[in-house]
Structure 1
């Protein structure tokens, strides 16, 4: 494995520290499912606690970097060219229902381009990360997108409300960050979704690119209502044909 940058190292440490809270809180969810109050407030609290740990760790190391985060919002600091993009729990609804499929996502945007990203699934202890021109990795092993080129052999993934039906085999997992990480690792052959937030996908965008995949052009200055279509190069044109009205 190539050596990783100091910034990616900071991101990994921050996600690992925050994951301890999420693992502990996730263990409490079952008990909360039956409580009168219900688990919603609890999950919001988990989100905020994890986010605070991540932001504190990143700020300790890089006090001048700006921040875009799901709960915290936008914080413009001295260094406007470098921005951390954070989603403390992507897949909150899964978390809320005790489904172990959610992730921490952290990315670093520099001069309007994602240069580092990670997606960490704390329950399965699966860490996906990538840096510009340095490849994509899963638990320290290099990963590449799928090699399939027959669309009928492929498994795609989406999320949100999909009105049109496509002649495609696809799943809905409820976690955009992991969907993209799985495309990077070749588990899924492609991913498509509308109305995403930048923090849902920032960590995953660079993973797919560095794993040899293709993603539509995304305006990094926009934080909401993002449309994404990601896949291996082998299947991209066929997927776009199927999704021509997406």
Structure 2
């Protein structure tokens, strides 16, 4: 087995130990970054330390770490992208809707991706050929019509005046009867995993950052769906922004609505 593939599958379930600590839900808050739990920091330190031990020449990009301002790939370079707790606000408030995401990129894009939900003990994993849930192959839903679909929306809203379209606009655009139902879970990686396994039909957020969407984008495409990054590309991860991911049959109508907003 490829060592980076094995690493993701072994390391992600181990984050549970940091979520059970008595102090894990202590948090700070900033307008720019939102909620930061103690567990965010501890998981970041744990996984980044293990990556450096096993793959000392690889680069690391974590939501809770230093950014890579110049993250263009060089020959032989791998970049790890980590979101220690995707859904930190849910975690600190005791809502069991969050996940840990870890993926690795090479010069061609996302190579391997894992998304672990500790609340359901579910490990989603993808390479470029297949996506699995606890080892079993998964696929996107077979929903054909947008009006029959369940879609998830998020809008980070760290700056209500600057981010367009805002959440209110998105909700109004996709509310029934345009879709069957809309959901806002506030855990992008988990929502993308749910699209990959058919629990949801689509996910979109025009303002997601690379750690929110890199792993999930591979998860959805390897499960037979479509994923479009709205700005930038993985060749320069810090410039990536926004995603539309869905069962292939409803991608076009979702994109058509977004273009009008």
Select between 153-162 and 169-178 the one with higher mean Cα deviation.
Answer: 153-162
Deviation at 1:25, TM superposition (A): 4.9
Q: Distance in 2 between matches of 1:58 and 1:181?
A: 23
Task: Give the RMSD, CA atoms, in angstroms.
Answer: 2.3
Select between 165-174 and 47-56 the one with higher mean Cα deviation.
Answer: 165-174
Q: Distance in 1 between matches of 2:86 and 2:198?
A: 20
Deviation at 1:214, TM superposition (A): 0.7
Matches within 5 A, 1:191-202: 191-202=203-214
Q: Distance in 1 between matches of 2:22 and 2:126?
A: 28
Deviation at 1:8, TM superposition (A): 1.6
Q: Distance in 1 between matches of 2:76 and 2:212?
A: 21
User: Normalising by the residue count of structure 1, what TM-score does the alignment of the two structures yield?
Assistant: 0.86
1:231 aligns with 2:246: yes
Give the conservation status (yes or no) of the 8 Å contact 1:47–1:89. yes
Match of 2:159 in 1: none
Match of 1:150 in 2: 145
SS of residue paired to 2:37: helix
User: Normalising by the residue count of structure 2, what TM-score does the alignment of the two structures yield?
Assistant: 0.82
1:17 aligns with 2:18: no
Match of 2:60 in 1: 67
Matched residues, number: 232
Deviation at 1:14, TM superposition (A): 1.9
SS of residue paired to 2:253: helix
Q: Distance in 1 between matches of 2:143 and 2:74?
A: 46
Matches within 5 A, 1:178-189: 178-189=190-201
SS of residue paired to 2:45: helix
Find the partner of 1:140 among 135, 138, 145: 135
Deviation at 1:74, TM superposition (A): 3.5
**Are the structure 2 counterparts of residues 206 and 23 from structure 1 closer, same or farther at C-alpha, using a change threshold of 3 Å?**
farther
Q: Distance in 2 between matches of 1:7 and 1:226?
A: 25
Q: Note the residue ranges of structure 2 that are not aligned, 5 or more in a row.
A: 29-34, 156-165
SS of residue paired to 2:123: strand
